[in-house]
């Protein structure tokens, strides 16, 4: 794991642990409400005020825990810009959905389903970058109510595994990879680079400096000349000028950055 990502992964892990507690608390309140309703239907008794108050307090607690979880998710994904995709938007939906827990639970469920479907995109990118398939399995389960509690636990365990991997520090290039000529950036989202590498490694991310465009990658580098094609995954709206493109490259023992030059030629 890259050392400057450790704090953000910790936020995500804690968020999913809190979400586990949130779901337990919320469904406990639902069970209390159903129990009270069944008692009324079976015996004709009056609904217990204590039961309703307990249920409401549990839902308020779930609201608070859900908002805190959403904030952790948003902050973590926001700072992990290379991984996030639409996960930060999904995190905001989790926060909004939490607000509706004591008011209209059905709306909360819909917002959570959409939110965790978007968050899955960011989790899948993290899983691909670190080879942690457990996170992918958890991300799928997170989308579905009730069984999502299992997904939250699995996701937290997967993130914890990443955090326990040996730390590597991202360093500035030591001229192990050099650019030949000038790269070309196209408006369709593709960047074309020619690199002369002294090492075997993998390009794990690319960012066009001074723009919001970044992407997670898995492009192998071999020793010698490499004609690299990077798909940023979205059309690019840039000025016709020269840009710096920063690549994060990993080897079996280190992670470093290379800042290259490319011109926007739509």
- pLDDT tens profile 51-83: 788 888 999 999 999 999 999 999 998 887 666
Give 32's Cβ-side CA count (13 Å radius): 18
Q: Tens digit of pLDDT for each residue in 20-38?
A: 999 999 999 989 888 888 8
User: Can you tell me which residue has the tokens 């710096």?
Assistant: 244
- Other C-beta atoms within 10 Å of 164: how many? 9
| Residue whose C-alpha is closest to residue 77's, from 96, 68, 90 | 90
Return the C-alpha torsion angle 155, 105, 76, 163, nearest 10. -20
pLDDT confidence tier of residue 218, bands split at 50, 70 and 90: confident
Indicate the average pLDDT of the chain.
Answer: 87
Which DSSP string corresponds to 31-100? Answer: HHHHHHHHHHHHH-PPPPHHHHHHHHHHHHHHHHHHHHHHHHHHHHHHH-TTT-TTHHHHHHHHHHHHHT
What is the pTM for the complete model shown?
0.66
Please list, in sequence order, all residues whose beta carbon lies within 8 angstroms of the beta carbon of residue 104, skipping any fewer than 6 positions away.
none
C-alpha–C-alpha distance, residues 244 and 225, integer Å: 20
Percent of the chain residues past pLDDT 90, beyond the cut: 54
Q: How far apart are alpha carbons 34 and 27 in whole angstroms?
A: 10
pLDDT at 144 over 70: yes
If pLDDT is split at 50, 70 and 90, which confidence band does 18 have?
very high
User: Does the CA dihedral 93-96-101-106 come out positive or negative?
Assistant: negative
Distance CA 125, CA 83 (A): 6
What is the reported pLDDT for 13?
96
**Measured distance CA(236)–CA(190) in Å, rounded:** 9
């Amino acid at each position: 794991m890259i050392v400057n990502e450790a704090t953000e992964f910790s936020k995500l892990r804690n968020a999913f642990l809190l979400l586990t507690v949130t779901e337990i608390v919320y469904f406990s309140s639902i069970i209390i409400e159903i129990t009270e309703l069944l008692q009324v239907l079976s015996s004709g008794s009056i609904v217990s005020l204590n039961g309703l108050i307990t249920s409401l307090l549990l839902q308020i607690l779930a609201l608070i825990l859900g908002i805190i979880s959403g904030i952790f998710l948003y902050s973590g994904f926001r700072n992990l810009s290379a991984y996030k995709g639409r996960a930060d938007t999904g995190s905001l939906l989790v926060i909004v959905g939490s607000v509706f827990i004591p008011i209209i639970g059905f709306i909360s469920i819909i917002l959570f389903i959409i939110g965790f479907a978007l968050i899955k995109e960011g989790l899948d990118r993290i899983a691909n970058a670190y080879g942690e398939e457990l996170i992918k399995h958890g991300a799928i389960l997170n989308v579905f109510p009730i069984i999502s509690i299992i997904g939250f636990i699995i996701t937290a365990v997967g993130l914890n595994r990443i955090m326990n991997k040996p730390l590597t520090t991202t360093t500035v290039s030591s001229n192990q990879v050099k650019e030949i000529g000038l790269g070309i950036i196209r408006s369709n989202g593709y960047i074309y680079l020619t690199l002369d590498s002294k090492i075997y490694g993998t390009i794990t991310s690319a960012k066009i400096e001074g723009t919001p465009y970044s992407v997670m990658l898995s492009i192998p580098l071999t020793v010698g000349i490499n004609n690299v094609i990077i798909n940023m995954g979205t059309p690019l709206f840039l000025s016709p000028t020269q840009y710096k493109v920063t690549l994060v490259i990993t080897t079996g023992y280190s992670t470093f950055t290379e800042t290259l030059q490319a011109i926007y030629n739509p």
